[in-house]
């Protein structure tokens, strides 16, 4: 009796399997379609950070964040609670947060794309930004950032001429790290952080002490996700040789945490093409 039932069930398995395959394939196609980020063309202030704007919302383009952040005191429409987590920023601040997700967000740059984002209370909002676009979002596209025009494009346009400088990077926990040679000194695993704009580079004290010819320039403050600044010292060198290219007035900051190359270094170029698939940044003077 048991074996008969099993045999009869086995005859039904191919039909059931076929139906399941069709259903799963259909759902997968819908999800993949929704995950594709629509082409983005956005303007940003040439004197400030790179940002992406849509529907009256402005998001900081920040490769120093491995997760996209949204500032709100209540759950955005169409999003659901996933779990709690702690966010740590460049200043070392640890902030309780929530991870939320949506199959089909209805606002801003996230419209229509399957997203998991980090929700932070508005009290941590800074710079007038509604949120931070992290590498989880940035990795979905290639980017062309035009510093002369103050424009950023996703699915970047092809560029015929050869880049003046190519920076290859690796991923570490979702963040981008690259090796540089600065005045003959090899500096490894430098974090590429477009959300840092106080100097070209930020180095830990031991590495900074290797940079000959630098002089104190000014005191400044560095800000993290929480918007709480901490004091830093900025140093300057009249000329610096970086990856075989000579640059004037290269600036450095002293750090207690990690080594960073910030957006100011990339602003030395007219535009850059950020190829996230090949993990290379092509820089054009």
**DSSP string for 71-92:** E-SSPPTT-EEEEEEEEE-TT-
The pLDDT, as a whole number, for residue 158 is 76
Distances (CA, A) of 151 to 204, 270, 271: 33, 11, 9
| Residue 166 in this model has a pLDDT that exceeds 90 | yes
Query: Domain spans of the chain?
Result: 41-140, 165-268
pLDDT digit string, tens, across residues 170-197: 999 999 999 999 999 999 999 999 999 9
Is the model's pLDDT at 62 over the cut of 60?
A: yes
Q: How confident is residue 46, by pLDDT bands cut at 50, 70 and 90? A: confident
CA-atom Rg of the chain in angstroms = 23
Say whether pLDDT at 32 is over 70.
Answer: no
What fold, for 165-268?
Cathepsin D, subunit A; domain 1 (2.40.70)
pLDDT of the residue at 4: 33
- Nearest residue to 265 (alpha-carbon basis) of 174, 152, 149, 145: 145
Per-residue CA distances from 213 to 68, 229, 238 (Å): 39, 28, 8
Q: Is the pLDDT of residue 274 over 50?
A: yes
Interatomic CA distance for residues 192 and 201, integer angstroms: 10
62 or 78, which is more confident: 62
CATH architecture of the domain covering 41-140: Beta Barrel (2.40)
Q: pLDDT tens digits for 229-271?
A: 778 999 999 999 999 999 999 999 998 878 999 999 999 999 9
- The span from the CA of 165 to the CA of 154, in Å, is 21
pLDDT at 256: 81
Structural contact between residues 253 and 235, judged by C-beta atoms closer than 8 angstroms: yes
Distance CA 277, CA 202 (A): 27
Confidence of residue 139 (pLDDT cuts 50, 70, 90): very high
Bigger pLDDT: 257 or 144?
A: 144
Q: For all residues of the chain together, what is the average pLDDT?
A: 83
pLDDT at 93: 75
pLDDT digits (tens, 9 = 90+) for 89-137: 766 778 889 999 888 776 666 665 657 889 999 988 887 899 999 999 9
pLDDT score, position 114: 55
Give the chain's length: 285
Same CATH topology for 41-140 and 165-268: the answer is yes
Instruction: Give the pLDDT mean for 41-53.
Output: 89
Widest distance between CA atoms in the chain? 90
Whole-structure pTM value: 0.83
């Amino acid at each position: 009796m048991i074996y008969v039932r099993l045999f009869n069930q086995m005859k039904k398995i191919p039909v059931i399997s076929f139906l399941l395959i069709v259903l799963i394939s259909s759902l997968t196609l819908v999800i993949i379609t929704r995950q594709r980020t629509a082409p983005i063309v956005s303007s940003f202030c040439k004197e400030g950070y790179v940002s992406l704007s849509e529907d009256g919302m402005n998001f900081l383009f920040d490769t120093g964040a491995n997760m996209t952040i949204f500032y709100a005191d209540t759950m955005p429409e169409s999003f659901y609670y996933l779990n709690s987590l702690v966010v740590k920023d460049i200043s070392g601040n640890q902030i309780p947060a929530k991870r939320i997700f949506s199959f089909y967000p209805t606002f801003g740059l996230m419209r229509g794309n399957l997203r998991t984002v980090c929700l932070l209370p508005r009290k941590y909002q800074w710079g007038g930004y509604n949120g931070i676009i992290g590498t989880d979002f940035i990795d979905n596209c290639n980017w062309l950032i035009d510093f002369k025009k103050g424009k950023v494009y996703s699915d970047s346009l092809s560029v015929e001429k050869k880049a003046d400088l190519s920076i290859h990077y690796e991923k570490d926990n979702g963040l981008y790290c690259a090796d540089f040679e600065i005045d003959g000194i090899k500096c490894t695993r430098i974090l590429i952080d477009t959300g840092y704009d106080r100097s070209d580079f930020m180095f830990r004290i031991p590495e900074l002490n290797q940079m000959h010819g630098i002089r104190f320039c000014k005191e400044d403050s560095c800000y993290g996700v929480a918007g709480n600044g901490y004091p830093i010292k900025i140093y300057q060198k009249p000329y610096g040789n970086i990856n075989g290219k000579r640059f004037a007035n290269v600036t450095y900051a002293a750090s207690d945490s990690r080594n960073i190359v910030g957006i100011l270094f990339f602003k030395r170029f007219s535009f850059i093409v950020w190829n996230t698939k090949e993990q290379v940044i092509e820089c054009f003077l």
